[in-house]
Structure 1
Amino acid sequence: MCLGTFLGVSSLFAQNESAVYQPAPENLQAREVFKDNKFGIFLHWGIYSMFGQGEWYMQNENIDCHEYAKAASGFYPAKFNAHDWVAAIKDAGAKYICITTRHHDGFSMFDTRYSDYDIVDATPFKRDILKELADECHKQGIKLHLYYSHLDWTREDYYPLGRTGHGTGRTGHGEWKTYYQFMNNQLTELLTNYGEIGAIWFDGWWDHDIHPDFDWGLDEQYALIHRLQPACLIGNNHHQTPFEGEDFQMFERDLPGENKAGLSGQAIGSLPLETCETMNGMWGYRVKDQNYKSVPTLIRLLVRAAGKGANLLMNIGPQPNGELPAVAVERLKGMGEWMKKYGETVYGTEAGDVMTADWGTTTRKGNTLYVHILSDKMPKLITLPLNDKVTDAYLFDSGEKVSRETVKGGIVLHTASLTPDTDRIVVLKLK
C-alpha cells in the first residue's frame, strides 16, 4: 500500500505556544548528560533490509511503492533479540541507541494506530520490536533515541513532492495537512507508549530545500514533543544551523567544522554536538557492502569527535533476519575493550585546547588535558599552546613520565621515544 490508513485527524496548525523556545530545566540537564555520553549506536532497520540494497532502494531504483510494500508480508526477523542487541551495544561502551522508527519508505517499525503499514499489522512477525527494544534499553540502563523521517515516498498526502520520490508510483493529490497531523499523531504515540525517550532525530527537511518557502510546521511539532516529554532532546538532520526549538546540532558523515562529504558546511552553534557516520559504507543493510572500518579507525573517529566536543553516533544496518552483522558485532567488541581501558579520557570530557592536529587531538576534564596521539608515525615533538601551567606529564597507560619543556605560549612534549598505538595518550595535569 502507499497511503497508510489515516485515523483521528483533528485540528491542525494550532497557534504556536511560544515565539521563543525556553528549554525546561530537565531538558537542560538532559543536554549535559547527552554531551557526557560521547558515544551512541545508530540502527537503520526496516523492510528495506530484505532487499539488501540499503535504505534508499525505493528511490534509487524508482520502485513502485505498491510493489515495494509487498515485501512487508515476508518480513519475519526471527533472530531479533532485543536483549542481545542492547547488551552488545552497551558492552561496546555506547551510552545510547538511535533506531529508525519510520524511514523515507513510510514503513513504521512500531505498532501505530494511524497506519496499517507497520511491523505489527503488515508483517507475519506481529511483534512491536520498538517496544521490546525500549523495554530492554530501560532495563539495561541505556538511553533510547528515535529517528523519524519528515518525508515519505509512499503516502499520497506527502504533497507537494520534494526533490525525491518522484518515481515511486504516487499521484501526489493528497492533503499536506493530513500528513502533518499523521506525523504528530505518530510522534505522540512514540512519546507516550515507549517510556522515556532521550531524543527525536528528524531527517528529511532537505527534501524541500528546493522550496524555500515551504513550512514544515516545526514550531508546533517541536512544542508538542517538549510538552509530552520536556527532557526529550530534538535534533534535525537539515544540514543547517539549528532552528528554534532544537536541543542539539548534528553533522552527517563529518566532524563539526569539516565538510569532506559535502553535507556539513553549516556553522557550529552553541548546542551539544553529534556526528553520525557509517560503520561500513551504507546506513541500511547492503549485502555487498563488507567494507567495514577497522577497530582502530573507529576508535580514532570517536576520539577525534570527542576532541571537538561532539558525540559519535556510529551506524549499523541490521540484517533482515534480525541479527546485527557478525562483523559489526566484532567491531563493537573491539571498541568496548578499548573503552573499558580508556573511556575516562572520552566520557564527560570537553573539547580540548587543540581540537585538530596532524598528530591527533586533545580532550579536557577539569584541570586534566588528555593528549591523544593518533598518528601511525610518532612525532618527535608536540607543541601545545596552553595558558595553564603544566605540573605533570605522563602516559595514561603506565604513568611513565613524558619529557616536556615550557616555551612561550605553551609547552613542547618530547615524544620521539614513544611507540605508536591506536591512541597513545599523554596526561597533562594543569594548574
Structure 2
Amino acid sequence: MAIQPWFTDAKLGIFVHWGIYAVDGVQESWSFYDDIVPYDRYMSQLDRFTAARYDPRDWARLFARAGARYVVLTSRHHDGVALWDSAHGRLNVGRDLITGYADALREEGLKVGLYYSHSDWSHPDYASTRRPGRPPEQEDNRYSEVAAECEDLAAWERFIAYRDGQIRELAERHRPDLMWFDGEWERSEEQWRIRELAALVRSYAPDVVFNARMLSEGDYATPEQGAPVVPPEGPWELCLTINDSWGFQHHDHHHKSVDQLIRYFTETIGGGGNLLLDVGPREDGTVPAEQAERLEGLGDWIGRHAEAVYGTVRGLPAGHHHGPSTLSQDHRTLYLMLFDAPRAAFGVRGLRSGVRRVTVLRSGRELGHRVIGGLHEAPGVLWIDPPAAADLDPHATVLAVELDGELELYRGAGRS
C-alpha cells in the first residue's frame, strides 16, 4: 500500500513528549528502567501531574504557525501511564487529555498523530516472556523480561488483550491519521501480533499511516536524533529534539538555534524526508518559551519560502550543490538553499537541463548565470552570480532555478 500523499508533503511534524515525567523533570520511563530514579519516586509524579494550564488550542495554533502539518503526542510511553481515562490497565492520569488535542489539531487543519509504546514496563503481565533468540547470558531487566524457565504465556495473552483494549479506545475515539509506535525491539513481530494490531487500527482508521516501528506494517523509516548522511530511499522522518531531551527537563537549556533547526529542516526535506521536531511541555501543559520561540522562528522562515518547502520532492544528491535543495513536483524548478553569503559566483555541477532563469525566492530579483566548460556527455558548471546583501535572508537564502524542461542530472565520472 502506498503511503498517504499528505505525509510525504507535510515536511514538518511536531513530536510532543508529555507525561508525568515532566513533574520532576526526569527522563521519561528510562529513568526508573535504568535504576536512576526509584520506581516509587517516579510514579509519585502521577499525583503531582496537574495539566493545570493545558490548552490544546494554544498548542495547535503554535504548531500551525511553526509550519507543521501534523503532530504526534505520547498517548502512553514505556512507563505505562496513559494520558486518557482508559478502562484498561491501572495507570492513567484520571482524565482525558487526548480528545481536546485531537479536536484542536483538526480545527487548525493539522493531521492527528498518536504515539503509543508497544512495551509497558509497569504492567504486571508485561515481563512474562522474552524475545525469541535472546541469548540466555544477556542480562535481563526486571521491568521487561523474565528468564526462559519463568515464562508465563497466559500472562502475555492478558497483556496483549490489555494493549488491544487501549488501542481500540484510541482508534475508535480519535480515528488517528498517524500511529507512531515505539518499543518494538523488546519482542518479535509474532509476539506483538503486528498484523492483527494493524488490522485493528485500520478497522477504525483505514488510511492511517504507521511508522517503521510497526515492523512489516510500517510505512516509513524513523531515524532518531542523528541526521542521516545518506538519506533513506523511501519515505522517512527525522525525529529531533529542540534541546537534548524529549520530555521537559528543568536543567536542559542546551537548545538548538533557529539557524541550526532550519539547517536540519532543509537538509531533511532536501533528502526527501519530514522533520518531526520534538517539544517537551511542562507538567502544567505549557510549552517552554525557549522552545516556542524556536518554533516561531522556524515557522517564519518556512512562511517566507513556502514555495521551496511544500509541494516539493527531494532535491540534488550530494556533490552537485554545497547545501540542501528541493525540486518542484513537476521537476522543472530547483530550489537551492544558501546558508552562507556567497563572496563570488558559485557553481552547481552536473545539470544536463538548460536554465531559463535564476531568482532570489524572497525578493524575486533575477541573478546572472552562465554555463562554463563541459565535454561530451559531461555538462559544464552552472555559475550563478551572488545575491545582493539586501536580498539575503538572515537565516538561509533560497534561489529558484527555473529549468527548460524536467531536471536531468549527470552522475558520471567524466571522460578521460
Structures share fold, TM-score greater than 0.5: yes
Q: Quick one: structure 1 residues 184 and 375, their matched pair in 2 at CA, closer, same or farther if it must change by over 3 Å? A: farther
Provide the secondary structure at the position in 2 that maps to 1:360.
coil
Q: Deviations over 1:342-401 (max 9, x none)?
A: 122111210012357773111011211101112476574222322322111111122222
Partner of 1:398: 363
Give 1:174-213 correspondences, 5 Å limit. 175-194=155-174, 196-208=175-187
Displacement of 1:216 after TM fit? Answer: 2.3
| Aligned with residue 153 of structure 1, among 118, 121, 133 | 121
Partner of 1:263: none
Provide the secondary structure at the position in 2 that maps to 1:289.
coil
Q: Quick one: structure 1 residues 297 and 59, their matched pair in 2 at CA, closer, same or farther if it must change by over 3 Å? A: same
Aligned residues of 2:320 and 2:350 also touching (Cα < 8 A): no
| Aligned with residue 235 of structure 1, among 208, 211, 229 | 211
Aligned residues of 2:321 and 2:347 also touching (Cα < 8 A): no
Displacement of 1:66 after TM fit? Answer: 4.4
- Structure 1 window deviating more from structure 2 (368-377 vs 151-160): it is 368-377
Partner of 2:384: 414
Aligned residues of 2:116 and 2:180 also touching (Cα < 8 A): yes
Partner of 2:191: 215
Q: Which amino acid aligns with 1:177?
A: E
Q: Over aligned residues, Cα RMSD in angstroms?
A: 2.6
Q: Which amino acid aligns with 2:105?
A: C
| Aligned with residue 424 of structure 1, among 397, 402, 407 | 397
Distance in 1 between residues matched to 2:57 and 2:79, nearest whole Å = 27
Corresponding pairs, count: 381
Q: Which amino acid aligns with 2:292?
A: V
Distance in 2 between residues matched to 1:119 and 1:217, nearest whole Å = 27
Q: Quick one: structure 1 residues 268 and 337, their matched pair in 2 at CA, closer, same or farther if it must change by over 3 Å? A: closer
Q: Quick one: structure 1 residues 375 and 164, their matched pair in 2 at CA, closer, same or farther if it must change by over 3 Å? A: farther
Q: Deviations over 1:126-182 (max 9, x none)?
A: x31111111111222111101110112111211325789826599887622221222
Aligned residues of 1:275 and 1:310 also touching (Cα < 8 A): yes
Distance in 2 between residues matched to 1:378 and 1:33, nearest whole Å = 39
Identity of aligned residues (%): 29
Q: Which amino acid aligns with 1:207?
A: E
Distance in 2 between residues matched to 1:164 and 1:277, nearest whole Å = 30
Q: Which amino acid aligns with 1:430?
A: L
Q: Which amino acid aligns with 2:314?
A: A
Q: Does 1:304 align with 2:267?
A: yes
Q: Which amino acid aligns with 2:232?
A: I
Distance in 1 between residues matched to 2:129 and 2:336, nearest whole Å = 51
Q: Quick one: structure 1 residues 53 and 394, their matched pair in 2 at CA, closer, same or farther if it must change by over 3 Å? A: same
Q: Quick one: structure 1 residues 317 and 230, their matched pair in 2 at CA, closer, same or farther if it must change by over 3 Å? A: same
Q: Does 1:47 align with 2:20?
A: yes
Partner of 1:322: 285
Please list every run of 5 or more consecutive structure 2 residues that lacks an aligned counterpart in the other structure: 132-137, 405-416
Q: Quick one: structure 1 residues 425 and 349, their matched pair in 2 at CA, closer, same or farther if it must change by over 3 Å? A: same
Q: Quick one: structure 1 residues 359 and 277, their matched pair in 2 at CA, closer, same or farther if it must change by over 3 Å? A: same
| Aligned with residue 333 of structure 2, among 368, 375, 388 | 368
Q: Which amino acid aligns with 1:51?
A: D
Distance in 2 between residues matched to 1:224 and 1:156, nearest whole Å = 24
Q: Deviations over 1:191-225 (max 9, x none)?
A: 1112x3111101111234xxx79732212212222
| Aligned with residue 141 of structure 2, among 145, 162, 166 | 166
Give 1:260-299 correspondences, 5 Å limit. 268-270=232-234, 272-299=235-262
Displacement of 1:67 after TM fit? Answer: 4.4
Distance in 1 between residues matched to 2:264 and 2:352, nearest whole Å = 27
Q: Does 1:249 align with 2:212?
A: no
TM-score, L = length of structure 1: 0.81
Displacement of 1:256 after TM fit? Answer: 4.0
TM-score, L = length of structure 2: 0.84
Partner of 2:59: 85
Q: Deviations over 1:48-104 (max 9, x none)?
A: 111202213222335444443232122112111111111111111111110001101
Aligned residues of 1:275 and 1:312 also touching (Cα < 8 A): yes
Q: Which has the larger radius of gyration?
A: 2
Please list every run of 5 or more consecutive structure 1 residues that lacks an aligned counterpart in the other structure: 1-22, 121-126, 259-266
